Every structure is written in structure tokens, then in C-alpha cells.
Copies of this chain bind each other. A is one copy, B any other.
Amino acid sequence: MSFQEGDFVLIVAGDRKYLRRLTKDFSLNFKDKLLKLEHVLGKSAGQEVNGFCLLKPTLEDLILLGFERKTQIVYPKDSFYVAFKLGLSSQSRLLEFGVGSGASTAVFSSLAGEVWAYEVRQDFCKLAKKNWDKFGLCQNVRLENVDFKEAQVEEDFFDCAFVDVKDPAPYMEKVWRALKSGATFASLMPTANQVAQLLKVMEPLFCAVEVLEVLHRGYKANPERLRPQDTMVAHTGYLVFARKRT
């Protein structure tokens, strides 16, 4: 592929990464070097131009560098793992609430057949739509601006569910009813108190309950001085996984 006006391009300069759209007024400065639209148009992905490497962004690049956010997003380190734990495939119908900035939905949507997404806050619904539309993502997502408590959903309808709200415990009975027997369930919560409360509610309804944290430890990629980064993201949330029991 070669880059055209309107495309998104991931630009690597030294150890920095930039996600940019190739608009008429595109230009990028890094140290004393300049990259302009004319340098990029018609170039192939992977080409190095004037010290800049031009790449097609991955979904992770879009989320980390291109998604606008109002609160903390679900990080790819977490959502990539959740996607597989949920067993998502083109046959899966996924229930998700709350959607927030739409970062996790974008990941799940890339694997699932369809996603039914609920978000109580109107500003988040708009933000998520904006993020998805910008990159042409989530065309199999049906987003509704309603608290899942109020949502009209059939029973035994979903193959899997992902819940990311402040206090998931009060939703669990409704989630349970909406899921098919044996369905996969996942939730992300920042505090240990929430996990303890959720586990209490889940005990009679779910089996195969697991709790874990995903930690990524990055390194400085210097072959002569290989060492971990000085600081790391130490916490995004606790992940809870389970299967609906009947």
C-alpha cells in the first residue's frame, strides 16, 4: 500500500511515535527535521523518509495515540487479553457496558460478530462514536445511550459480556439473565473493594471465577544497555473472569 491524502499514518522518529492524518496542512517537526505532506504521499508503508519511518497504524496505535479520552480508557494490555478470555469469534454476540471512550469496544468489535453496547452518559456515547467513526471502526456495534439497568434485553441472548462500570455488583443478576448458559463474563475494576463486592454477588450465579492483573514491564531497547524502563504503569484494574452457571 502507498499513502494517500486522508490516510492515517504512524510516524516513528527516534523513540517517539506520532499518529497523524495526511491532510493538506500536514507537517511534523522532530528535532531539526521536517516531514511534509509531499514527502509522504505515494510512499510505501515502512519507508524511511528523512529519518522518519512511515507505517500503517495497528489497532493498538489507533487506541493509544488516536482515541480521544475523558477518563482512563481500558488499555490494550487488558482488552487484548479479555478478548481471548471471552472466546470472541465471528459467531459471538457480546454485551458490553459502560463503553466510556470506546477503546475496549474497538478491540472486541474486531473479533466478535456483533456487540450490543450500553453507556449511560451521553457525552461518552458521543465520544465513543467519534473515536470509532474517525477510524472506521465498530461497524458491528449497536450502541444505546442508557444505563444497562434500564436496557431492554432478552434473556439467554448473549454469548459473552464485558462490564466496566464503577460498581458492577448491582448489575450482576440482570447480566446473568441476559447471558446464555455457560457464557463467558469479564469485568475490569480499579479497587480491591469492588472486586470483593462483585465476587460476593457472583458466587451463586457463576463458576470458574478468576481474578488477575495484567502487568507489562517495558525495557529500554538498547542492546549495549538492556534494562527495564524506570517507571511503569503499575495499575489499571483488576480483571474478573467467570462463566454463567445454571
Contact = CB atoms under 8 A, between A and B. Distances in A.
Interface of A: 10, 12, 17, 44-48, 53-56, 58-60, 76-77, 80-81, 83-87, 89, 107, 110-111, 180-184, 190-193, 195-197, 199-200, 203, 207-235, 238, 240, 243-246
Given A58-B184, A199-B226, A246-B48, A212 B217 contact: yes
B235 A229 contact: yes
A9 to B, nearest CB: 10
A222 B89 CA distance: 31
Q: How many copies does the complex hold?
A: 4
A238 B221 contact: no
Contacts of A223: 196-197, 199-200, 203
A189 to B, nearest CB: 9
Given A85-B60, A228-B235, A46 B245 contact: yes
Given A53-B207, A59-B87, A246-B48, A191 B225 contact: yes
A193 B197 CA distance: 11
B46 A58 contact: no
Given A182-B55, A195-B226, A246-B44, A211 B215 contact: no
28 contacts: A12-B243, A17-B208, A46-B180, A46-B244, A46-B245, A46-B246, A47-B182, A47-B245, A53-B208, A56-B182, A58-B84, A58-B85, A58-B86, A58-B184, A59-B87, A60-B85, A77-B214, A80-B81, A191-B227, A192-B195, A214-B215, A217-B234, A228-B235, A229-B235, A230-B234, A230-B235, A231-B233, A232-B234
Return the 3 tightest CB-CB contacts between A and B, nearest first.
A45-B182, A46-B182, A46-B181
